[in-house]
Amino acid sequence: MTALYWSPMWILGLALGLLLAVGASGPATAQTTGLSTPNPTSPVFVVRPNPTGPFRVVPPGTFGSRETIPFSDEPHALNNPHPMLPNAGLGYAVRQVWMPPQPVVMQVYVPTPEGVPAQYQTMFAQVPGFYAIETTTGTWIPERWVLDQVNVGIYQWRVAPMQFVPNGSQ
């Protein structure tokens, strides 16, 4: 009598365990497909015999080939994700870090009449602060103002380009 009772419970427990295992591993495997694979920046040519069927990437000039169509399932430069999306290869944004303003002490050249030795005067400037964005794979540094020393006693402001600095743990 007890063998009839335990058999359906054992089968039900096994089925429930398998269902939970598949349900937990499914989303994890779906997240890894296609991440960090940007589309090409140059034109790509494909052959697609059936409009709804699969395509094959071929070299330019292949008979029957055409350039890929943007915003479809074909590889095209316009299909790349925004840089801050996780599938762009930059990771998830974790936090914003305030980089405070930096005081700078400069020895600036002071023009003098001919025959008088060159003079330098101490001046102070402050490089503006900015927010850097830490992601899971590195740090995203936005455009910012920097002070360059062009020559002895000559300084110049410029806008530094945005850049991504990887963590180095990859």
pLDDT, one tens digit per residue, over 98-156 is 999 999 999 998 888 988 888 899 999 999 999 999 988 888 899 999 999 998 888 99
Is the pLDDT confidence value at 94 over 90?
no
Examine residue 109 and state whether it is found in any structural domain, yes or no. Answer: yes
10 within domain boundaries:
no
Residue 77 has pLDDT above 50, yes or no: yes
Domain that holds residue 106: 93-166
First-to-last C-alpha distance (Å) of the chain = 59
Residue 143 lies in a domain: yes
Whole-angstrom distance, CA of residue 167 vs CA of residue 170? 7
Query: Within a domain: residue 15?
Result: no
Residue 24 lies in a domain: no
Whether 133 is covered by a domain: the verdict is: yes
| Structural domains counted in the chain | 1
Task: Identify the band that residue 26 occupies on the pLDDT scale cut at 50, 70 and 90.
Answer: low
Whole-angstrom Cα distance, residue 132 to residue 139? Answer: 7
- Report CA-CA distances (Å) from 39 to 6, 36, 42, 80, 124: 55, 10, 9, 6, 47
Taking the CA atoms of residue 77, residue 82, residue 85 and residue 90 in that order, the dihedral angle to the nearest 10 degrees is 80
Q: What is the DSSP string of 47-80?
A: E-SSTTS--EEE-TT-TT-EEPPTTSSS--GGGP
Asked if residue 116 is part of any domain, the answer here is yes
Length of the chain in terms of residues written: 170
Q: What is the pTM of this model?
A: 0.48
User: Does 117 map to a domain?
Assistant: yes
How high is the pLDDT of residue 31?
Answer: 46
Q: Residue 137: how many CB atoms within 10 A of its CB?
A: 20
